[in-house]
Amino acid sequence: MPPYHGINVTELPISFFLLNPNVTSRFPVNASVIEIVKQLGIEEWNDYLDYESYYNNCNPEKCFYVITKKLYFSTFITTVLGLIGGLSTILKISIPPIIRLTRWLQRIRVDYTTITSQS
């Protein structure tokens, strides 16, 4: 047998067995491999879902799923603008009391230094 893509097929450790013609199949005996592959080689499709049996057999410690979403440009811009707006609101609320506190502390320190220098 000639080499296939540089591989000598006769030297591979693979066993090939003929299909048993006595076993019933939905594929005819003379069906080509391409026909079987096109139908994914599925003999029978079972729509019955038994989650309880699956989880009893699989017995996962944790069960989770991941939802992947496409990031749209408009969603990105809206999120960034929302973060900037929230940050500016927080700063507008918190900065004036912080400035008042620092000025008050400076006044106290100035008053304390003038009192100590006069005595």
pLDDT over 50 at 1, yes or no? no
Cβ-count burial 29-42 (b if 16+ within 10 Å, e if not): eeeeeeeeeeeeee
pTM of this prediction exceeds 0.75 = no
Residue 30 maps to a domain: yes
In total, how many domains does the chain have?
A: 1
Residue 114 maps to a domain: yes
Q: What is the pLDDT of residues 23-68, one digit of tens each?
A: 677 777 777 777 777 667 666 666 777 777 777 777 767 777 788 8
Mean pLDDT of 98-115: 85
Residue 35: alpha-carbon gap to chain centroid: 36
Residue 33 maps to a domain: yes
pLDDT over 60 at 7, yes or no? no
Residue 1 maps to a domain: no
State which residues form the domain around 56.
9-75+88-118
Residue 2 maps to a domain: no
Q: What is the mean pLDDT of the chain?
A: 76
